[in-house]
Amino acid sequence: MMRTRPLKVALLGCGVVGSEVARIMTTHADDLAARIGAPVELAGVAVRRPSKVRAGIDPALVTTDATALVKRGDIDVVVEVIGGIEPARTLITTALEHGASVVSANKALLAQDGAALHAAAEEHGRDLYYEAAVAGAIPLIRPLRESLAGDKVNRVLGIVNGTTNFILDKMDSTGAGYQEALDEATALGYAEADPTADVEGFDAAAKAAILAGIAFHTRVHLDDVHREGMTEVTASDFRSAREMGCTIKLLAICERAKDGASVTARVHPAMIPLSHPLASVRGAYNAVFVESDAAGQLMFYGPGAGGAPTASAVLGDLVAVCRNRLGGATGPGESAYAALPVSPMGDVVTRYHISLDVADKPGVLAQVATVFAEHGVSIDTVRQQGKDGEASLVVVTHRASDASLTGTVEALRKLDTVRGVASIMRVEGE
């Protein structure tokens, strides 16, 4: 039997995502009520510019006083889609203190202060859900937190930023340079006017912290994630990748050590074989590859951003939280019992593709090979091309630690025959 008294929802933010949340709540009101077991009512919308016309939203619901809205006491669920650290952190904490559960899409805040927010939710017996914080519409948080709760996840490897994937895909498919591809992404609305958070990997790093924490039952802070952007990737790198049967993606990689005693989380460009499922992810789409003991290999794919896709994830959380509210229960909270240490990037072992500019004369290859051997880095393949006294030497290693590779490169730079290190890129997905 359906309850007639509605559950009241406060919406913080009414931009691209927030406006879609409000629209779906209105247009799908009957379906949502049937799925939840009670109607849901939009009880207030906090915005910065109240004079802006917002189609389908009663102007009487609009306020600039977000604090007063979350303190009302009759609010059942607060949906936070304003982003950033403050005032979002204070508003979420205040909402929990005043009896509301929270649905958030705020990856930056959760990566930085997720532990404190989970603690506040537990203290006040309320839910904190955030499916929309990672990979937009793709169901990922809930499968990791619930569907795979009985399994042991060993690796999460994914494309979690649509802007960077669009740019790299364009460079790969057309031969465009980085700036040309970025300009097209901006013109099409895939990149912000200031794309730093995307192209320098900050956005993906926040998502990696969240994914690693859930997958490995360990608190992983944003500062624990090694981050490299993709602004230095060149058309030449893509040519090298194609010669190896690879393409280049900006990847978020979260791994459990083979001995199970530690974890790592990192974001950086990498070559991946064209045979890997992630290699075929095109345009602004996201995909995440999960490897676990029992389930094996799973892949989650779909639109990773945008108003409607992200709102879909928000509404999914809203339904779950409202059901919990009606049942007098809460869903899964933070699971950090494993408390595994997060290893530094220097301990990470992977393959490397190194391109060197060298003198075109006898003995150079022997010198370079000696440096690799002295640092314990085994060479898989070498390719050399020379002309007019200059040459390009491409070395692909077997698996080596980041620390040993760093030492190798420092030693190579000291050789008189090495003019420069053109590029270094990791090779993943094998």
- Active-site amino acid positions: 207
Distance CA 13, CA 33 (A): 23
List the Cα angle 18/23/24 in 5-degree steps: 100
| Alpha-carbon 53 to chain mean position | 32
Distance CA 337, CA 277 (A): 32
Structure tokens at 3: 């309850």
Structure tokens at 266: 């990192």
Distance CA 144, CA 317 (A): 15
Q: CB count, 10 Å around CB of 205?
A: 28
Q: CB count, 10 Å around CB of 12?
A: 26
Which among 218, 65, 39, 214 has a CA at the least distance from the CA of 129? 214
Q: CB count, 10 Å around CB of 309?
A: 20
Q: Alpha helices of 175-231 — where are they, by DSSP H?
A: 178-187, 196-199, 202-216
Q: CB count, 10 Å around CB of 85?
A: 12
Cβ(195)–Cβ(211) under 8 Å? no
Q: CA gyration radius for the chain?
A: 24
C-alpha dist (Å) from residue 182 to 92, 163, 179? 35, 9, 5
Cβ(416)–Cβ(409) under 8 Å? no
Q: CB count, 10 Å around CB of 341?
A: 12
Which among 348, 327, 257, 277 has a CA at the least distance from the CA of 3? 327
Q: Which helix (H) or strand (E) holds 325?
A: helix 307-327
In this structure, is the dihedral angle defined by the CA atoms of residues 197, 131, 283 and 238, taken in order, positive or negative? positive
